[in-house]
A and B are shown apart, each in its own frame.
Chain A
Amino acid sequence: MVNSITDLKTWIQESLFDAVPMCIAVIDEDFNLVIANRAFEEKFGPWKGEKCYAVYKGRDTVCHYCNGSMAFNDGKPRIKEEVGSDRHGRLTRYIKHTIPYKDQDGNIPFLLEISTDITDAERIRQEHQLILDHIPCNIVVLDRNLQIVRGNKLFKQTFGNREGDFCYKAFKDRVVECEQCPARRTLEDGQMHHAHSQVRDIKGRTVELQVTTVPLGLSDEKLDFVMEMAVDVTQILKLEDELKIAHAMMQAMIATSIDGVIAVDENRRVVIFNPAARNLLDVPPGHPVTRDDLSAILPEDFMDMVGKNTSPVYLADTQITTLTGNIIPARVVGMRLMVGNRDMGMAFSVQDLRPLKNLEKEKIEAERLAEEEKTVAGLAHGVKNLIMALEGGLYMLNTGMKTQKTDRLDQGLEILIRNTERISMFIKEFLTFSKGRVIQASPSDPVEIAREVVDLYSARAGELGIELSLDPEGIVAPANLDYEGMHECLTNLVGNAIDACSMCVQDEPCHVWVRVREKDRAVVFEVEDDGCGMDYEVKQKVFTNFFTTKGSGGTGLGLLTTKKIVHEHGGQINLESEAGEGTVFRIQLPLDRLPEAVLEEE
């Protein structure tokens, strides 16, 4: 045993110096390195005959604030954190203890320098601090009294420099601990805890914090510190509220929408089917609408079409089938729902077109009635002429008899006869006109109708020296027309055109052109003549009055009938005419206003 201790003492005396892992060196007053241990040489490199500032720091001259100089002067030991370079020139941080060595006379011939390398520790500390300062999170370290020991950069920016304050004072301006303080609980049980906290920042703004506390112990037994990490969730909460509101609004809008709103997920399962849709499509209450139900409701292949398109697909006027098998005219829009590249499903809007179509029918009917009223007023005028003529005939008969003027008697009788005939013809035509044939539309070839009329008049035109031609322009698809009705219209117009030609005295032969075309989604008939045309006043009156250019023959109802038939097709007729140049009558029948075809009865 004595030997062991002796051996140990010998070892300590002889070998400890070089075994110690700290760098130990001795310098003299001239900063020469006198003695150094192995650890020193391994760290800082060869030292014999070198100056301390050269070996520690690679310098040529004494350091500005040399601890050594000061220690030589006052004989006080010192500790300092130094930065130097190791034997390879790499940056080295170390803590140097400087201890003056006094001799028996009280002089200080040497300084003992013991250095501990803290390069790695320092690096880790800096990394640590970087992380703490850049985490988007307020971080404080609290001691057992909940006093703030240290705070990261964000904390300082948000709440100010509150080191030393109690956390409950700094965050919440309280004088006592909060009741459910997570930091206190962590200090007690050493576990992680969470809490939500509403605090005020340095600018007085209210901030919502999601707080997590973790134990930060330096010894095993007692917890010395707790780290509190608080994330500002104010923005998130605000967005959550906004999202809730937006969602609630959307739900309300979908629920109250007049149009049907339907949505399916990426598997085509129905996720939204609003009350309007249920109503429109005869869905019994409580019946969940299935994928197959929806396929049967929508037009064939519509869902597939929507699925293939990135933009909305519109069917402006189509048919949908309700669950009870009813077919309804509807406007359907479908759209794929995507988030980024991900398919989220599809949404559809279904608008019932029945009210619109009814309105259109009513509008056409109202227009027709208005025309009738105008017609009746115009007819009244014609009738009065006839009545006055009859009175005239009677007057002449009367006065002729009284004055024995046979000429007058004859004339009066003639007038009476003629006008009673006219009246009877007028009444017949008028009755036909007002009762009217109800038009029955069926797919007809417009060009064929025009051709028949032209053939009808070609002989008469030839006799009168009038050039009558049919000019179909382009392709005219069959349309839902009342064949007889349109035939009557064209007969009237072509007849008028031929009369206009025959009444007009011109040098060159007169032309009548009959044209048929499809333009702007409408069937267009045109009858043009280059006769004498009409002046402004006559043009104004052509349609609105009981009107005839044929003198005392005819009743003028032809044009009114034509107008009536055109209107019943949902179309319009107008004329262009220049006095001396000619006249064009144009019938325009928009395809989407034509009546529906009547199926032939057995």
Chain B
Amino acid sequence: MIIDDEPDILAYLSAVLEDAEYLPCFVNSDMPVLKGIEMEDPDLLILDVLMPNRSGISIYREIRSSKDFRGLPVIMISGMQPAGESVVRELEEIFPDPDMKPPDGFLEKPVSLPKLFHLIGKLLD
């Protein structure tokens, strides 16, 4: 599953994943994310952190707090550099929490395709 508010990026990642013989799926923006995940039942989630309408961080928190989906592998992608302050600070706010495990992967935009597939391969084994 890919969650990103930029349609062109959604299209790009879909094409890339299809070519690698994965099945991309999405959530409609007016549907609550957990419901969408429940419906599509993805094996892995690619999640954009900074989105205008919904916060990637809060979506992540929701997922990790839910009983059914806390084990879902999540790769976070962001336009902020990892050293970018507010993202790190936000992540640090979650990570000290023992119940909240950090995302399984973190990639900076523009995403490097080899790195992406390496992570996906590792996580889906």
- Chain A interfacial positions (CB closer than 8 Å to B): 377, 380-385, 387-389, 391-393, 395-396, 399, 408, 411, 415, 418-419, 535-538, 540-541, 544-545, 547-549, 551-552, 556
Do B109 and A538 have beta carbons less than 8 Å apart? no
What are 11 inter-chain pairs, A to B, with CB distance below 8 A?
A381-B78, A387-B109, A388-B109, A391-B110, A395-B15, A411-B11, A418-B8, A419-B8, A537-B57, A538-B53, A556-B52
Do B58 and A388 have beta carbons less than 8 Å apart? no
- Chain B interfacial positions (CB closer than 8 Å to A): 5-9, 11-13, 15-16, 19, 50, 52-55, 57-58, 78-81, 84-86, 108-111
Do B54 and A396 have beta carbons less than 8 Å apart? no
Residues of chain A lying within 8 A (CB to CB) of residue B78: 381
Grouping DSSP codes into helix (H, G, I), strand (E, B) and loop, the A interface class, with mixed when no group exceeds half, is: helix
A549 interface neighbour in B15, B52, B55, Cβ under 8 Å:
B52
Closest residue on chain A to residue B86 by CB atoms? A544
Do A538 and B55 have beta carbons less than 8 Å apart? yes
Bound together, the chains give a CA A547 to CA B52 distance in angstroms of: 6
Residues of chain B lying within 8 A (CB to CB) of residue A418: 8
Grouping DSSP codes into helix (H, G, I), strand (E, B) and loop, the B interface class, with mixed when no group exceeds half, is: mixed
Closest residue on chain B to residue A542 by CB atoms? B52
Do A537 and B55 have beta carbons less than 8 Å apart? yes
Closest 10 CB pairs of A and B: A392-B12, A537-B55, A381-B79, A388-B110, A384-B79, A389-B8, A384-B109, A388-B109, A387-B110, A415-B8
Residues of chain B lying within 8 A (CB to CB) of residue A408: 15
Do B12 and A415 have beta carbons less than 8 Å apart? yes
Q: How far is the CB of A388 from chain B (nearest CB, A)?
A: 4
Given contacts A381-B79, A384-B110, A537-B58, contact A391 B12 (CB under 8 A): yes
Do B52 and A388 have beta carbons less than 8 Å apart? no
Closest residue on chain B to residue A400 by CB atoms? B15
Bound together, the chains give a CA A418 to CA B7 distance in angstroms of: 12
Residues of chain A lying within 8 A (CB to CB) of residue B54: 535, 537-538
Bound together, the chains give a CA A408 to CA B5 distance in angstroms of: 21
Do A382 and B15 have beta carbons less than 8 Å apart? no
Do B12 and A552 have beta carbons less than 8 Å apart? no
Do B52 and A385 have beta carbons less than 8 Å apart? no
From B19, B52, B84, B111, name the one whose CB has the most chain A CB atoms within 10 angstroms.
B52
Given contacts A381-B79, A385-B109, A388-B109, contact A393 B53 (CB under 8 A): no
Do B79 and A382 have beta carbons less than 8 Å apart? yes
From B8, B54, B80, B86, name the one whose CB has the most chain A CB atoms within 10 angstroms.
B8
B80 interface neighbour in A377, A395, A411, Cβ under 8 Å:
A377
Closest residue on chain B to residue A396 by CB atoms? B15
Do A388 and B7 have beta carbons less than 8 Å apart? no
Do B8 and A395 have beta carbons less than 8 Å apart? no
- In the complex, besides A388-B111, A415-B12, 10 extra interface pairs with C-beta distance below 8 angstroms are A377-B85, A381-B50, A385-B6, A388-B9, A389-B8, A538-B53, A538-B54, A538-B55, A551-B5, A552-B6
